[in-house]
Chain A
Amino acid sequence: MAFRIIVLAKQVPDTRNIKEDAMKSDGTVNRAALPAIYNPEDLNALEQALQIKEKIKDSEVIIVTMGPARAADIIRESMYRNADKGYLITDRRFAGADTLATSYVISKAVEKIGDYDLIISGRQAIDGDTAQVGPQTAEKLNIPQITYAEEILSVEKGKITVKRRLERGVEVVESTLPALVTVHGSAAPCRPKNARLLMKYKHAKTPSELQTIDDDYTNQSVRNKPYLNIEELSLDDLSCEECKIGLAGSPTKVKKIDNVILQAKDSRVLKDSEVEIKNLITELITNHTLG
């Protein structure tokens, strides 16, 4: 049986390394100023997809990502791990989208790809931590959602069984397919890049990337190999209503952004010495903070 898995993955700014020029004056993020990484929980999601691919004959893993041109890296990174192909949703007119407008565009892209059995994504992305795009995409596609998956226990045509990781326990649920599953960070880590696949796919390019390559030889050899073509989807390729995309299609607006300024307290500074710590403990006991 043919089994098609779509993985939704996002390239995110590495929020652990933020510098001052990271924000634009309109309150949106200047992604160009930050190092970009594969969103960690999306890697967990990819691993679940790849494991299913290994179990089900004639199955394929398709990556869908949305972002600027450089987000094509996410698709190559996925191919190096055994994903089959990818679509980059990219268009300036999609910029400034909140989760509602983003999930709308993603659902349109998924509908265009079509014939899917399962959609898998990370639970949330580290740049926003909202965990909203997965459930919102499921709603737009009118399919069930299974959030916080720790392990996909079994999959067959039309049915999936998933172990969910909740705040205080686990739950095993069964759902009809197609469905959308979001994967929790406690799931199996993603496999490393495979050297053979890296050699095979390192020249995989989007049409826009190909245009910027002057080297005719590379250009021709990529064009001649269909598996090296990463597809791009723009607004013109998707049947989106313009009023539902980008900043205009986003019901949430950023009213203001405040930089975090520390209001320093008058803190006492102690050294790691027997006397100072002894006195501190005495004080805490005397004022009934301790004991």
Chain B
Amino acid sequence: MNNICVYCEIEDGKVADVSLELISKSVKLAKELGCSVEAAVLGGNLKGIEDQITPSGADIIYKAEDKKLEPYTTIPHAAVFEHIIREHNPQIVLVGATSVGRDLAPRIASSLKCGLTADCTDLVIGDYTDQKTGKEYKNLLYQIRPAFGGNIIATIVNPETRPQMATVREGVMKKEPAEKSHKSETVKIDASKILNSIGTAVKIIERHIEPRKINLGGAQIIVAGGFGVGSKEGFVLLHELAKVVGGEVGASRAAVDAGFAEHARQVGQTGVTVRPKLYIACGISGAIQHRAGMDGSAQIISINTDPEAPINSIADVAITGDLLSVIPKMIKHYKEQSK
């Protein structure tokens, strides 16, 4: 049976959250398909890496250890991961939509001549009938994503080609531990032969990777701003509210594109998906790509001058007003009452 294979990204010796989230999702998909879950992990020093991967529910771990695989560069990782895919023929390949995954996945999809869907917000197993030929396909991967400015949700399938490839952003899928007794089997991949045959076209000269400062995924309260905040200075007010209530500041894509906030704060399909206890949306109109990243919040408060803003329709509380006037009131009353 052809399995589901997840590319495990390594950050400072740790498996990236998005990879573990994808393994958790794969466990569910594999149950429907009656297949196993494979994890491919490539790096320079992978001692004991299984201990991080197995608890998420992977059945088989393909481990390729070679100095040339760290830090990540495109062609070596693509060559080794492609080798693993060609050897084991998974029916589905999932990759985190990180700067690594979005560099790697298209290179491999092109080489394998298979379909690839970026930034999926849901993955579902289902059937498909080709309308032209009438041919029926069982148990395909539905790759679901907003498209075209968020005005539509598209369901994409790859009927003929394998593997079916998709990338998914961090936080979209939930990380769920498998049963404690779950065990995995490790298969070592000899990467040296492949790596020796490809040469090194790209060399890394310098690397400055900062530890994560902004942790939107783990925040219980998020104060998020949109284009309606109006300026970088306007975001200072949001930071103040976030600090007072112990939350983190998020932003819509429009606010990030306008330079009001850094990209690491972006919530939505092409940013981070969050599920906080409370999401305060300030001056955010609420395009579907944004809502896709936050509509799992337990409670949503919207502050908007436009009472018809789409975000209001999913808000528990919609405050009609200017955030420059509303937020200071919230800060004042919170400070008074929380003493």
Contacts and interface: CB of A to CB of B under 8 A. Distances in A.
Contact of B153 (A134, A145, A258): A258
B197 interface: no
A199 interface: no
Given A172-B205, A262-B310, A130 B110 contact: no
Interface string A170-204: 11111110010000010000000000000000000
A144 B147 CA distance: 29
Given A272-B321, A290-B338, A173 B153 contact: no
A59 interface: no
Contacts of A185: 257
Contacts of A128: 118, 147-148
Contact of A171 (B116, B156, B206): B206
A22 B320 CA distance: 32
Interface string A5-22: 000000001011010001
Nearest to A127: B148
Nearest to A269: B318
Interface magnitude class on chain A: 35 or more
A174 B203 contact: yes
A116 B204 CA distance: 24
Contacts, number: 246
Interface in B24-62: none
Nearest to A134: B106
B75 to A, nearest CB: 6
Interface string B80-114: 00000000000000000011001101110111011
A251 interface: yes
A244 B221 CA distance: 49
B313 A251 contact: no
B322 interface: yes
Contacts of A267: 302, 312-318
B334 A290 contact: yes
A268 B318 contact: yes
B193 to A, nearest CB: 20
Interface magnitude class on chain B: 35 or more
B19 interface: no
A90 interface: no
A253 B103 contact: no
Nearest to A153: B205
A155 interface: no
Nearest to B338: A291
A251 B114 contact: yes
B325 interface: yes
A200 to B, nearest CB: 33
A121 B154 CA distance: 26
Contacts of B143: 252
Interface in A233-274: 250-260, 262-265, 267-272, 274
B107 to A, nearest CB: 5
A135 interface: yes
Interface string B175-218: 00000000000000000000000000111111111111000000
B102 to A, nearest CB: 5
A56 interface: no
B318 A252 contact: no
Contacts of B151: 18, 22, 259-260
Nearest to B111: A139
Given A128-B147, A253-B157, A169 B152 contact: no
A82 interface: no
Interface string B139-171: 000110011111111111111110000000000
A132 interface: yes
B321 A251 contact: no
A152 to B, nearest CB: 14
A16 B151 CA distance: 10
B212 A168 contact: yes
B182 to A, nearest CB: 30
B335 to A, nearest CB: 10
Contacts of B161: 251
A170 B208 contact: yes
B330 interface: yes
A156 to B, nearest CB: 15
Contact of B307 (A18, A148, A269): A269
Interface of A: 13, 15-16, 18, 22-23, 27, 29, 98-100, 103, 126-136, 138-140, 143-148, 161, 166-176, 179, 185, 250-260, 262-265, 267-272, 274, 276-278, 280-282, 284-285, 289-291
* Closest 7 A/B residue pairs (Cβ): A272-B321, A15-B149, A251-B115, A252-B115, A136-B110, A132-B106, A139-B110
Interface of B: 73-75, 78, 98-99, 102-103, 105-107, 109-111, 113-119, 128, 130, 142-143, 146-161, 201-212, 221, 245, 257, 263-264, 270, 277-278, 288, 298-299, 301-302, 307, 310, 312-322, 325-326, 329-330, 333-334, 337-338
